[in-house]
Amino acid sequence: MTGTRVAPRPRLLHQLSSMLRDPLVRNSLFLILTTGLGAGSGFFFWLIVARLYPTAEVGQASSLLSSVALLSYFSLFGFSSALVRYLPTSRNRAEDTSTAISSVFLCGILVSLSFALIGPMFADELGFVRSSWTHVLLFVLLATGAAVNLLTDSIFVACRATNSNLLINGVFMSIAKLALPALAVPFGAFGIFAASGIASAVAAVASIVVIRRSLRIRIRPQISWAAIQGMLKYSLSNYLSGSLNLIPQIALPIIILHQLGAVVAAVYFVAFQISNLVSSASYAIGESLFAEGSHESGSLRVLALRSGKLMLAIVGAGVVVVTLLAKPILQLFGAEYAETGTTTLILFTVSSLAVAFNTWANFLLKVRRQLRAMVYANVVFVVVILGVALYKVPDGLNWAAAAWGIGNLLSGLVAGAALLPRGRRGNVRTAVQP
């Protein structure tokens, strides 16, 4: 009697299993899932808030939360990038991590307190933030918690523990964010902000606990000047580069609102946000590329090719889907969005390929510590996008999408050109001397 033959594993399943064992693919997947859950919970958060709160309070809270997102970034001072670059090979992981978290915590307090006291002077609708010292204190603590939570995301990326980040920021924070608005109705606009802020702050605390227990990094409230000196140049260069990158995202809506009016500005916002979901895959893969390159365990050229192919495959698929379904997607928001913004959405979505190229090239510059070239590339990014937008947006909204694509493409070419000299020296490894 012959034994039963076991059917061979399907080739596709075997390939999928092999891909998931690749840290680059695995971490990219976890980051994409975290981004997707965050976007989904954000959508339902505002849907719940719109049903529970008056429109005026929703408007106030949305402005405040947008401001907090910027405050969180400015509070990081580039430490998020520095940790991803240095933590994988650091001999003083606890000291470096503790210094970064403590520094961001102090910067967050300073930045958010300054905003709470000064911001309402320039925006009357945010006056409720400083209506009492209790509000000011809560705002500072929650805004600082949001900044620390952003930093802990980078620690998980650096330590190849994006699965923990998915559980904390993708699942746990999303559930908390959706549960809290109903409890905060009596507090009006500040309650909406608090619902989101508490979820982020609790996630920051949970992240620190997991980092201490699972990653075995003993975080303490301390600042080491030696650690700061080791990361300062890299941190500030990334901070400058990231700040430049934010300028077009802040300026474009203002230019469109001024030149084309509020209705077109609303169409732009929706089209840009949809295309940004496609681009989010390239950001996730770029972060994973950054982390893997920082581990200095293999050929950077091979890693660059693998990440580039992965980025092209996922972003390319997203571009095809959104381009084919652009009009039906916009019709979900209303007939006017579909009529005015279909071509704009297609152009923004196709520009995601240029965004992916720019993201890929700039993350490689980060790995190789080519800081000056990274800043130059982002200067080109700002100048080109704002130059084209200021000159051509009065002719129509499609030029905003064209400016975005052209700016990303040229910035990517500048970054790519900076990579070429070293890229021709045989088998370039990730180990780069400071």
pLDDT of 16: 55
Q: Which residue type does 263 have?
A: V
84 in Cβ contact with 146 (< 8 Å)? no
Count helices and strands in the chain by DSSP H and E runs: 16, 0
Cα–Cα distance for residue pair 148/132, rounded to 1 Å: 25
pLDDT of 320: 95
345 in Cβ contact with 322 (< 8 Å)? yes
Q: How confident is the model at residue 15 (pLDDT cuts 50, 70, 90)?
A: low
Q: How far is CA 163 from CA 30, 157, 248, 260, in A?
A: 6, 9, 32, 44
Lowest mean pLDDT among 57-71, 158-172, 222-236, 336-350: 57-71
Q: Which residue type does 401 have?
A: A
Nearest to 274 by CA among 181, 345, 351, 190: 345
Could you tell me the end-to-end alpha-carbon distance of the chain, in angstroms, rounded to an integer? 68
Average pLDDT over residues 369-388: 93
Q: How confident is the model at residue 374 (pLDDT cuts 50, 70, 90)?
A: very high
Cα–Cα distance for residue pair 42/45, rounded to 1 Å: 5
Q: How confident is the model at residue 27 (pLDDT cuts 50, 70, 90)?
A: confident
Give tens-digit pLDDT for 255-270. 888 888 877 787 887 8
Give tens-digit pLDDT for 343-364. 999 999 999 999 999 999 999 9
Cα–Cα distance for residue pair 396/251, rounded to 1 Å: 16
Average pLDDT over residues 40-52: 81
Average pLDDT over residues 361-386: 93
Lowest mean pLDDT among 119-123, 312-316, 418-422: 119-123
pLDDT of 98: 93
Average pLDDT, the chain: 85
pLDDT greater at residue 420 or residue 384: 384
Q: How far is CA 136 from CA 59, 112, 128, in A?
A: 19, 9, 9
Its pTM stands at 0.79
What is 384-396 written as a DSSP string? HHHHHHHHHGGG-
Nearest to 230 by CA among 426, 119, 363, 99: 99
Average pLDDT over residues 293-319: 86
Give the CA count within 13 Å in the CB-facing half-sphere of 309: 8
Q: Is the pLDDT of residue 387 over 80?
A: yes
